[in-house]
Amino acid sequence: MKELRFAMLGFGNIAKTHMTALRAMPIIKNPPLIPVLDTLVTRRPDLHLAQAQAIGFRHVTASSAEAAADDRVDIFDICTPNANHYDDVLTALKGGKSIYCEKPVTESYSRSRALLTEVKGKPDLRQQLAFTFRYHPAVMRIKHWLSEEIIGNVLQCKISYRRSGYLNPERPVSWRLQSGMSGGGAISDLGVHVIDLLHHWFGELTDVSGRTNTYVQKRPSADTGEIVTVDVDDWAMMTYSTASGVSGTAEVSRIALGSDAYDIQIVGTKGSITCDLERDSVPVVHLLSGSRSALPAPDSLSLLPDEKATMGISVDTHFAALHHFIRRYAGEDNWNGLAPTIEDGVRAEYWIDRVLAENKGLT
């Protein structure tokens, strides 16, 4: 069977999640192309060489340009800090490589929009953005049930995506806590996922406004230990409306100690759907007419590992997204509108940028 050879850019936690999913894919599924971890691009090839070789990488380098010039590489899988995505994607385009890129597109809406223009200039190259919550089994079910109008016309949706890792003021400043590298805090890290889900489920947004706050304003530098000022948000609350008439609120937090969750509450004219994406693979449907004996299951669930092969919901959703990307690369796309694109990322970042501009100087 033909191989599909990946250059992995980055060697952090999210890159290792991608590697785990790709390595497991031929074991769990029967993809039309076999993914191969070919080249690792990392700032410290000397440090990571032995581990990379143990994983199975053929080549380790610090140069993305070198990887792009290698005819044996087919795909750039970009897992670098947000501010690096612009150059990484351009390098891939120049080398004729298809692109699988972590979100957000870049650290700023203006650069993301400029990058989208470059991507559109290479329509023959496959590209996909890692909005992996589209591949969550509960999200897939909700999408299908909404299309079947099981809860009638949707009236409102409330989302609260809460994480807790940044409450501790002793946690050092990393690139995720620097606006020049990340573009924002909770709103850029988590908010883009929420905005994309709203668009994926309900269509075009017509208005988003909100408030951000930085509650932990001082942290030690990772390099020197010196206390520095944090310039990204810990929390944001947004209100939104869509062209289809849905409205609601969206909260994101990275300081919600003890209440980590990704709560979804959707209300329609015939009932509601509730779930926690951190814990539930099957949402709960509440109908005015009473319970239904069975609810339809979307065939897109076949992209995920089954119950006996699960690697945990985080790896499973990345697995399904990469599985879909490989099938799309091979010309097999049975789920039109499912794959998130760089254009989808730019659309989400437009609204994030508006909220950040609205709050500039207010924190």
The per-residue pLDDT for 311 is 97
Q: Give the burial string for 180-203 (b: 16+ CB within 10 Å, else e).
A: eebbbbbbbbbbbbbbbbbbbbbe
Helix, strand and coil in the chain, % to nearest 5: 35, 25, 40
User: Does the N-terminal peptide bond of residue 305 adopt cis geometry, omega within 30 degrees of 0?
Assistant: no
DSSP string, 210-242: EEEE-S--EEEBTTT--EEE--S-SEEEEEEEE
Q: Which helix (H) or strand (E) holds 8?
A: strand 3-9
Q: What are phi and psi of 103, to 5 degrees?
A: -90, 165
14-20 own/partner pairs: CB under 8 Å, 24+ apart = 14/79, 14/102, 15/77, 15/79, 17/314, 17/315, 17/318, 18/77, 18/79, 18/100, 18/318, 18/322, 19/55, 20/311, 20/315
What does DSSP say about strands 235-242 and 247-253: parallel, antiparallel, or unpaired? antiparallel
CA distance 92 to 129: 14
> What is the per-residue pLDDT across 13-44, written as a single tens digit (0 to 9) for each?
999 999 999 999 999 999 999 999 999 999 99
CATH level 2 (architecture), domain 3-132: 3-Layer(aba) Sandwich (3.40)
Query: pTM for this one?
Result: 0.96
Average pLDDT over residues 159-181: 95
Closest CA to 61 of 9, 114, 100, 109: 9
Average pLDDT over residues 314-330: 98
Residue holding tokens 């992996």? 132
Q: Where in the chain is the domain with CATH 3.40.50.720?
A: 3-132
CATH superfamily of 136-299+338-359: Dihydrodipicolinate Reductase; domain 2 (3.30.360.10)
> What is the per-residue pLDDT across 102-144, written as a single tens digit (0 to 9) for each?
999 999 999 999 999 999 999 999 999 999 999 999 999 999 9
Q: Where in the chain is the domain with CATH 3.30.360.10?
A: 136-299+338-359
Reported confidence tier of residue 291, pLDDT bands at 50, 70, 90: confident
The per-residue pLDDT for 361 is 56
- Order across the sheet with 154-162: list the strands: 205-213, 235-242, 247-253, 154-162, 261-268, 271-276, 284-287
Residue 193 Rama label (left phi>0; alpha psi -120 to 50; beta): alpha
CA distance 174 to 270: 46
Average pLDDT over residues 174-185: 94
Closest CA to 213 of 353, 349, 107, 362: 362
Reported confidence tier of residue 339, pLDDT bands at 50, 70, 90: very high
**For the chain, what's the residue count?**
363
